[in-house]
Structure 1
Amino acid sequence: MGCASWFGRNSNDEDREHLQKLLRVPALPDLIREAAIPNGMQEIRVNGVAVVNQLPGTGGPALPSGFRERLLEEMKLNEIPEPNEFLERDSNALVQVRGLIRPGARRGDVIDLQILTPPKTEATDLHGGWLLDTRLRHQQLLQNTVRSSDVLAIGTGRMLTRADYDGTEDPTLQVTGRILSGGVVQSDRKLGLVVRPQFQHVEVSKAIAKAINSRFYFFDGSTRRGIAKATEDDFIEIDVHPRYHEREERLMTVVRALTLAAESSSTQTRLVELGKKLRTPTTAADAALQLEAIGEGAVPTLVEATKLENPELRFYAAEALAYLDRVEAIEPLIDSIRAEPAFRAPALIALQGIDQTSAVAALKGLLDEASLEARYGAMAALRDREDGRVTLRGENLQGQFRLYEIESAGPPAVIVSLIRKHEIVLMGDLTPLPHSMSMIGPDGIVIRPLEDTNTNTDSTRLRISRFRPGKPDAFAEVDANVASLIRGITEVGGVYGDAIATLRMAKEQGMLVDQLAFDPLPKSQRTYYRDGADSESEEDDESDENEEDGGDEDEDEDEDDE
């Protein structure tokens, strides 16, 4: 019978049929998100063991433990002489270091580091210490064995303990804290799309990459380069477009909202359909993302939606316009920041990236708002723009941190940053410090009123002294106001933690009467609550004039969580 089966079919026919099935190109869906899911969108936690040194006898020997063994092994690899003796000094302390690397991070990006001490430690205070270079790796438990990755980040920097800004009596707060922007990412994190099984085919992968590159590209020198590359029949590698740097989650959402259909006469029909969905609150957010994915062709539809009465619909349209670098987005985004706390954080992020100089003037207008988070959020957005930073005129204090004095019609406030930036921001017309101010601050700092030698009474100035064992005494005379006090602390050798702790103590003792706030930035995950009707049309705008009632829902934050 040869190769014929009992059913009269040749096995070669079955092979050919199977091969044809494999070669058959699946029908392309309408949107990329129907064919692919994002990959690489999780934060990566990195860990290390290191030494904090330059402590004034408040460190302690590293007690025998797995942490000490790990550190000794690392020190031997780096050929550090007499590592055991080094770990016994009371000017050093063994610590654990943690950090989170965001999706799409590039080599050279910085991250904040969290500092913890091992369960058993003789260190009593890490205030002002310096974290020596440490290699941070990602660790996983695989088959009952801890496996470590290559070095993903290098960490170093000045310690900021929780006691500096918290000030409670808990002694553990003196040996835990953070290092702002202390970690430097060592390698790029790639993003990608994984093609769903039913669509896995080289032609589908190529079609997805082509659709992405026709919308998202940039110029590498004189060469135009798309952000997508089909590397397998089931994987497309994605580079981060410059407009979406540190906005990778939104980039991937917009990319997946791209259509795979070629541009044709049906595009106008799609714009009309999305325009209708943009007028319904339940579908408006997704419609705006799809319009953003279309690009310039969707601008008229989005601009028209920014004129609607419904604040939610206006916000979604304006946010999409902002990522298309349209000036029409600025005014409705500013309105959203003023009126609705739930939209405040994403609106500020969108404004920060608009490549329009008029955005700077709009952000500066928010500095007079009554809301502190709106004011500081606007200031942070300006600080992160090249054309906005110069308008703030920040002052570098002895290379330790920056001091900003911001004119504002809002309530006066002293703002301290605990995320990314070493900065103190003074907003508004602050109340002068009392002439009789007298206090013992952190790390040998003493503040007293300066006596007027002509009248033997206290003058309007303060004397800042600093006494430390084994180091020369330092003195500074300053005016009795917050800005001068902060400058004086750095003049006597104080660091960022010293300035923060001094401000906190002055507030606790009633000498600082204005508001002291730590990172009063808008929260990024607030809920917007709708009331009344759930749609709006041009024919019936009046019915929705009062339908929106903004609300916000703040989630509790763990101080130890990065």
Structure 2
Amino acid sequence: MKYLPKWLCLFLTMFVACSCRNVLDVRSQSPDDVASGDRDVRLVGSMVVPFGMFPIRVEAVGLVTGLRGTGSDPAPSAYRAALLDEMQTRRIPNPNAVLASRDTALVVIRGVLRPGIQKGDRFDLEVRIPERSETTSLRGGYLLESRLKEMALLDNQFHEGHLLALAEGPVMVDPSADGKHDRVLLGRGRVLGGGLAVKSRPLGLVLKPGQQNVRNSSRVANAVNRRFHTFLNGVKVGVAKAKTDEYIELRVHPKYKDNIDRYVHVVGAVALEESAPERKQRTERLKHQLLEPTLGANAALELEAIGTEGAETLLTALESADLEARFYAAEALAYIGRREAAKPLGEAARREPAFRVFALTALSAMDDFAAYEQLRELLDVPSAETRYGAFRALWAMNPEDALVLGERLGGQFSYHVLGTNGPPMIHVTRNRRPEIVLFGQHQRFLSPLTLNAGNRVMVTGCGPDEIAVSKYAVGEADQQRIVSTEVDEVIRAVVELGGTYPDVVQALQEAKAAGALPSRFEVDALPQAGRAYDRVADGRPDKRDTESGQRRPQNPVPEMFSVQGGHETSHTRDTGDGSEETASEDPTSAERPRPLGGFFARMMGRESGQGTARE
């Protein structure tokens, strides 16, 4: 960004002030703050507003192949014209003949680039057939590489922006949908991790009107760089760079890659200039605010922005009898890099669902064996979302670690078999990346069973100890593999015979529904933000803040466990005995909503809402 016009800066300032006015303002407005004597210490957030904190939607018109007669020749339209142009650009011979095949289908692709996404990061895609398309199903299809851009349809023509990402991968369609009753669902699908960002999205800080000059731009950049730095090609560099007299570019610090909102808050809490006595006085004020229910979260963020000197004050709060003070202090210490944060964060993840999403993300940001050990222990607990949350946190900490490395099964999806000690569980995902995790080795199916793994692979029992995995395809010789009843062997056989990720998950879903899979089966058992907790002070519930005595964490929400594509995790949970419970969003509702399509309703996002913890 070489230049930002004055009118754009004014618009950004007004827009951000209206929609996220507290993003950078983490200072208390309490009477204690006025009397503290440190109000002359200006923070970065008093001079700037953040830039680039909103998602960008990217789109393309693409082609799905391998549909085995369920595709169609698209009618003349702007979509068809755009796809033909793309095919000609790629020098595909006879593009009209390709489109006329019943094994292909034109689809509309959509994805979202999150704030701070980096080049090489992956994200989920949604694909849909256009209205009035004659395509009957996308099941079994594969999305060919497409180029994702910002797009707008004007005067029946597409207008495109710059290339921002690429799209490609197998399309996952709800296997529970049938052609007679669920045609709409058969025309929709997801490509997990199918989007690949080709450009990084830098964050930025825009100086407010009246503050826009070279001196202030340099002051802000220097203040931020005193607190944060990273390495570029092995060279230590600051994260902030003053680009103009009104715009400062902000690199994402690696510790905050999964918590961009917190990063921006902490940057806003950095002092522009501060003497040693002023720092000491401000730290003393923040020490007292840590113990205040309404001020503790912001006080911890401000101490985190101070850095090493603020850590000593945060450490004293770990001994507090106040639950919130301990948690907020531990979370801030994790991002400062203090190993003392590991144990209280592990306890928070284990015992308090409202703090779990924040605690696991903070542990993943620590480069310390103490944090690794806490996450490793959480893999054995009974709670489904705690176990899987710990797994994802370990993967985010170091995807090359032997414990979570796993393998790329069939070149299609990540597959992990963990030697854990907790109850046997199988977890599959519907967002970020196709992934199957077996918590516990030697899990088995029960006979008799007959399962479908897609359109061409069938799994049948051959007695109490053997299972036949067979492939039947027109024009091909029949193939069969005889394996034991171990889930691991069956999954490998399905993939060996050409089964895809959706095929494997379909077989697991059918096995669970038929009672042939005794292990717990979970889809996206993710920790969630927004949960309430009971605040306890001196052994008694504290009802000063709400009538019920419940509160919600006030800290910024991390992105590590957010569901891409706009879907929320379901509030249907497996009770462990084969039945399901569905939590109503309104606790006073007399009618509890019915699960839609069981497990794959969760898989495809057909259930939504903010749910209870899957323990």
Aligned to 2:417: 405
Question: Of the candidates 36, 43, 48, which is equivalent to residue 60 of structure 2?
Answer: 48
TM-score (norm 2): 0.79
Q: How many residues in Structure 1 have an aligned counterpart in Structure 2? A: 519
Question: Of the candidates 311, 322, 343, which is equivalent to residue 334 of structure 2?
Answer: 322
Q: 1:518, 1:144 → 2: CA distance?
A: 40
Q: 1:526, 1:124 → 2: CA distance?
A: 39
Give the C-alpha shift of residue 291 in structure 1: 0.6
Question: Of the candidates 517, 527, 533, which is equivalent to residue 531 of structure 2?
Answer: 527
Give the C-alpha shift of residue 202 in structure 1: 1.9
- Structure 1 pair 44–164 and aligned structure 2 pair: CA distance change class (3 A): farther
Aligned to 2:503: 498
Q: 2:393, 2:606 → 1: CA distance?
A: 25
Stretch deviating more after TM superposition (41-50 or 437-446): 437-446
Matched-pair identity in %: 36
TM-score (norm 1): 0.86
Pick the structure with greater CA Rg.
Answer: 1
Question: Of the candidates 336, 339, 343, which is equivalent to residue 348 of structure 2?
Answer: 336
Query: Which aligned pairs between 1:117-132 and structure 2 lie closer than 5 A?
Result: 117-132=129-144
| 3-state SS in 2 of match to 1:192 | strand
Q: Is the Cα contact below 8 Å between 1:164 and 1:498 reproduced in 2?
A: no
- Structure 1 pair 469–263 and aligned structure 2 pair: CA distance change class (3 A): farther
Give the C-alpha shift of residue 513 in structure 1: 3.1
Q: 2:470, 2:114 → 1: CA distance?
A: 42
Q: Is the Cα contact below 8 Å between 2:78 and 2:157 reproduced in 1?
A: no
| 3-state SS in 1 of match to 2:414 | strand
Query: Which aligned pairs between 1:184-199 and structure 2 lie closer than 5 A?
Result: 184-199=196-211
| 3-state SS in 2 of match to 1:522 | coil
Q: Is the Cα contact below 8 Å between 1:340 and 1:551 reproduced in 2?
A: no
Unaligned runs of 5+ in 1: 1-26, 451-457, 534-542
Per-residue CA deviation, residues 182-223 of structure 1 (Å, 9 max, x unaligned), is: 111122212111111132222111111110011111233453
Per-residue CA deviation, residues 257-304 of structure 1 (Å, 9 max, x unaligned), is: 111123422111111111111111100111111111100111111111
Amino acid at match of 1:77: T
Aligned to 2:605: 559
Q: 1:160, 1:368 → 2: CA distance?
A: 30
Per-residue CA deviation, residues 302-324 of structure 1 (Å, 9 max, x unaligned), is: 11112212222211111111111
Per-residue CA deviation, residues 370-406 of structure 1 (Å, 9 max, x unaligned), is: 2110011011112233277312462442223233223
Aligned to 1:461: 466
Q: 1:352, 1:79 → 2: CA distance?
A: 45
Give the C-alpha shift of residue 251 in structure 1: 1.3
Aligned to 1:278: 290
Question: Of the candidates 475, 493, 513, which is equivalent to residue 480 of structure 2?
Answer: 475
Q: 2:322, 2:178 → 1: CA distance?
A: 41
Q: Is the Cα contact below 8 Å between 2:453 and 2:504 reproduced in 1?
A: no
Amino acid at match of 2:527: P
1:386 counterpart = 2:398: yes
Amino acid at match of 1:526: G
Per-residue CA deviation, residues 27-64 of structure 1 (Å, 9 max, x unaligned), is: 98611111111011001000010000122222221222
Q: 2:357, 2:177 → 1: CA distance?
A: 24
Aligned to 1:513: 518
Per-residue CA deviation, residues 505-547 of structure 1 (Å, 9 max, x unaligned), is: 1122222233221110111x213345466xxxxxxxxx25654
Query: Which aligned pairs between 1:302-381 and structure 2 lie closer than 5 A?
Result: 302-381=314-393
Stretch deviating more after TM superposition (315-324 or 546-555): 546-555
Q: Is the Cα contact below 8 Å between 1:28 and 1:204 reproduced in 2?
A: no
Aligned to 1:241: 253
| 3-state SS in 1 of match to 2:241 | strand
Query: Which aligned pairs between 1:190-209 and structure 2 lie closer than 5 A?
Result: 190-209=202-221
Aligned to 1:444: 456
Amino acid at match of 1:348: L
| 3-state SS in 2 of match to 1:419 | coil
- Structure 1 pair 61–147 and aligned structure 2 pair: CA distance change class (3 A): closer
Question: Of the candidates 446, 450, 453, which is equivalent to residue 434 of structure 1?
Answer: 446
- Structure 1 pair 387–133 and aligned structure 2 pair: CA distance change class (3 A): closer
Stretch deviating more after TM superposition (279-288 or 104-113): 104-113
Q: Is the Cα contact below 8 Å between 2:304 and 2:333 reproduced in 1?
A: yes
- Structure 1 pair 306–164 and aligned structure 2 pair: CA distance change class (3 A): farther
Question: Of the candidates 306, 314, 327, which is equivalent to residue 294 of structure 1?
Answer: 306
| 3-state SS in 2 of match to 1:261 | coil
- Structure 1 pair 296–232 and aligned structure 2 pair: CA distance change class (3 A): same
Stretch deviating more after TM superposition (483-492 or 345-354): 483-492
- Structure 1 pair 221–134 and aligned structure 2 pair: CA distance change class (3 A): closer
Amino acid at match of 1:406: L
Q: RMSD across aligned C-alpha pairs, in angstroms?
A: 2.8
- Structure 1 pair 167–293 and aligned structure 2 pair: CA distance change class (3 A): farther
Q: Is the Cα contact below 8 Å between 2:443 and 2:488 reproduced in 1?
A: no
Aligned to 1:454: none
Q: 2:263, 2:178 → 1: CA distance?
A: 37
Stretch deviating more after TM superposition (141-150 or 475-484): 141-150
Stretch deviating more after TM superposition (75-84 or 380-389): 380-389
Q: Is the Cα contact below 8 Å between 2:126 and 2:190 reproduced in 1?
A: yes
1:59 counterpart = 2:64: no
Q: Is the Cα contact below 8 Å between 2:136 and 2:179 reproduced in 1?
A: no
- Structure 1 pair 258–129 and aligned structure 2 pair: CA distance change class (3 A): same
- Structure 1 pair 112–164 and aligned structure 2 pair: CA distance change class (3 A): farther
Q: Is the Cα contact below 8 Å between 2:223 and 2:272 reproduced in 1?
A: yes
